[in-house]
Amino acid sequence: MQAIDPHFLDRFGEAYVREAQSWVAGLPSASGPTAWDGYTSLIVADACKRSFRSGAPRAGVPSPTALISTHRSNVPAFHKA
């Protein structure tokens, strides 16, 4: 059985570096965040806050499909499937 590192940076440090490198590499072609990106990040942040307060690992983050169906009239065309 493999031991689990107790500190998150020990476990995920390389993944954070790769994620940041990927993000930076995509900057030249990016058009920038949209209001939809901001909205969905707030949904996730709210779920994190509810999870922290409840002590539960998940506090009901809506799936992208649920978000789109709930707010279809406000969703950018490229997110509609």
* pTM beyond cutoff 0.85: no
In a domain, 80, yes or no: yes
For residue 28, is it within any domain?
no
pLDDT digits (tens, 9 = 90+) for 5-22: 677 778 788 988 998 898
Whether 5 is covered by a domain: the verdict is no
| 8 occurs within a structural domain | no
> In which domain, by residue range, is 81 found?
34-81
Q: How confident is the model at residue 4 (pLDDT cuts 50, 70, 90)?
A: confident
Other beta carbons within 10 Å of 48 = 13
Count of the separate structural domains present in the chain? 1
**DSSP labels for 15-62?**
HHHHHHHHHHHHGGG-----HHHHHHHHHHHHHHHHHHHH--S---PP
Confidence category of residue 55, pLDDT binned at 50, 70, 90: confident
